Structures are given as C-alpha cells and as structure tokens.
Amino acid sequence: MATTAAVVALGAAAVPAQAAPGHGAGRPDRHPGAEPIVIAHRGASGYRPEHTLAAYRLAIRMGADYVEPDLVSTKDGVLVARHENEISGTTDVATHPEFADRRTTKTIDGVAITGWFTEDFTLAELKTLRAKERLPQVRPDNTRYDGQFEIPTLDEVIRLVKRESGRTGRTIGIAPETKHPTYFGSIGLGLEEPLVRTLRRNGLDRPNAKVVIQSFEDGNLRRLAGMTRVPLAQLVERAEQVTPARLADIATYADWVAPTKNLVIPRDPAGAIGAPSSLVADAHAVGLRVVTWTMRVENQFLPTNHRIGTDPNAKGDLAGEIDAFLDAGVDALFSDNPDLAVATRDSWLAGEGAA
C-alpha cells in the first residue's frame, strides 16, 4: 500500500483527469485504463503474520497495489499497525511476566474483552513484543515466523512503502483503517489528529496522494473529511447500509464504499454465489467507487461453489471467486493472498482486452 512527489491518489489513479477532486465528487464507472486495484489485506497475511513489515514487504513484492495498516494507538499517542487494540492473539504479550498485571477487561464498542491493550503500553514497551500468527490452525506454515517481527508504527509502514516504491519503480499506496475511533477518542487518544499529522509530515495529505482512509464509523469519516484531502472509504457490512439513499449520503463525505463481499454477490442457502446485487451499479450511480473484502484462498472463506474438497483449510478456487467479483464491476478488492489476486486480476484484464 519513491519519493512523495511520485505518489498518486488511489481514487485519482483510476479516475479520468476531468473528474472533480474532493470528497463526494463524482466518480465515473470503471473505464479503459482504470484497472481494478489489489489491496493487500493487513499485508500478505496469507503468508506472514499480519501487520508486520515482513507481511507488507512481501505483499508489495507479490505485486499488490496497496497495503493496509489497521491503526490503533499506544499509551503515548503513537499509531501502530494492529487489527485490534487487544493484542494477545497477535503478539507474545502473554509470555512477558513483566506485563502480567496489564491484563484486564474492557468494554470496546459495547463488547467486553479481556486481554492486553495497546493503549496501556508505551511504544517502547510494545517494541519489546513480537508478532505471532493470528490463525495458527488455518495457516500453520505462518507460525514459523512467530517471534521474529516487531509491531510497526504507521511511520515505519510509510517509510517501507516509499523504499519499496523506489526499488520496484512503481508507486505503492497505503489504505489505513482507523480501528475503534470513538473508543480511542473517549480515552483521550483520538486517531484522527495523529493520522492526519503523520500523513502531512510525510507529504501525503493531498488529493493526489496514493492513500485512502477507511473506517466503519461514519462520524470518524465525516470528521476526517474536514481535516484531510485524501480519499475516504466507508466500510459496511449490513444490507441497510447500502440502500440507494444511504449510498447517496455516503457520497457526500466519502469517495469509496467498502462492502463485505456477500453484499456484492449474495450467497444462496447452500453458500454458493451467483448473480451480483445492484450494489455496484447503485454506488457508481452516485459517484462512489467500490472496494470489497476479503478474498482468502482457504475453503472455509470461499463460497461453496469455489471450494475444492472438504478440508476447510485446504486451498480452493480463489481465482474463480475473484473473477466473479471483477465481472460484477468492483473497482478494488482486499486479499490475504495478493499474489493470487494480482495474477487473477491481470489474467482477467487480458481476457477483457481480448473480448
């Protein structure tokens, strides 16, 4: 997810020059030259522990257009890349006796959670921890990397992306997601200000910066719309969030809508996918582009008509699933397996060109 002068916006990269800039500006349907974008979900998390520099680096070398750092805050207000602020499932914190007394129960967005939380650690303390595979039963090969990698800061992710952009000769983007922004704001560790400050410090707070900020919270995105000029994406996971009226509202403050994939192509009672819903067309009609999540190769994450065999952890037909979503008109997709997603996208584009 070069130099800052080479950075180009995720939204703008796929939009004709005449498209008006700014949040809620009209965006045309996909057009020749606007290739679907592959975003590495938490890095190449199918092959390395998620949200590590190793996962991001591998994703870029696999051809991902963007990498995705989920953002939470430390006690001293530094943004770090973790899927959740509770870190017992993604780090070795439980093995550190010096932090045993930090284990606690908190209510996060209405849910009681017990564990260790980033906001109770300084950055220096978090840097003594090491990442581990979040899904060891699903991805046992990834456990060979347990204990090798630190928790990266957003600044470190940006520096990596710039270095890899220079090395590869292609500009890589970042798609940060703010995690639990209302909760963090309630404890005096709001995510918006440090995020915008970090982007600005790195020369990335521009409409044509290759950055898109995601959030499930519309209040967070509405605040960000008044603070930054980069594209914004509204994450959604329920049908009532993608009615034509709601999509029109999202278009007033965001540039993208980011639905879970079952809203784009619903599954039937047997778990198979068939015809897409009207979501992509409805979103494009109000000027929104569509990015869907999450494409994973293991059978358990695939629709039943793209599974191979009965082992839930075996590799299925991810290419077939991705083809279906590209045919449905999505503008971008998140994948744990960016190598497969990029290869499928490129093959799909070649076939489209031949047609």
CB 66 within 8 A of CB 39: yes
Beta bridge partners of 332: 37, 291
| Among the listed residues 259, 256, 222, 220, the one whose alpha carbon sits nearest the alpha carbon of residue 239 | 259
CB 15 within 8 A of CB 332: no
Catalytic site residue from 23, 31, 51, 83: 83
Q: Give the containing element (helix H, strand E) for 296.
A: none
Q: Alpha-carbon distance 187 to 180, whole Å?
A: 11
Q: Alpha-carbon distance 268 to 303, whole Å?
A: 9
Whether 41 sits among the annotated catalytic residues: the reply is yes
Alpha helices in the chain (DSSP H): 10-13, 53-61, 123-126, 154-168, 181-186, 192-201, 218-225, 244-250, 261-264, 279-285, 318-327, 338-354
Whether 180 sits among the annotated catalytic residues: the reply is no
Residue 308: half-sphere exposure toward Cβ, Cα within 13 Å: 10
Catalytic site residue from 23, 41, 180, 284: 41
Burial class (CB in 10 A: 0-12, 13-18, 19+), 333: buried
CA 68 vs CA 44, 60, 175, 242: distances in Å:
10, 11, 5, 23
Query: Active-site positions?
Result: 41, 83
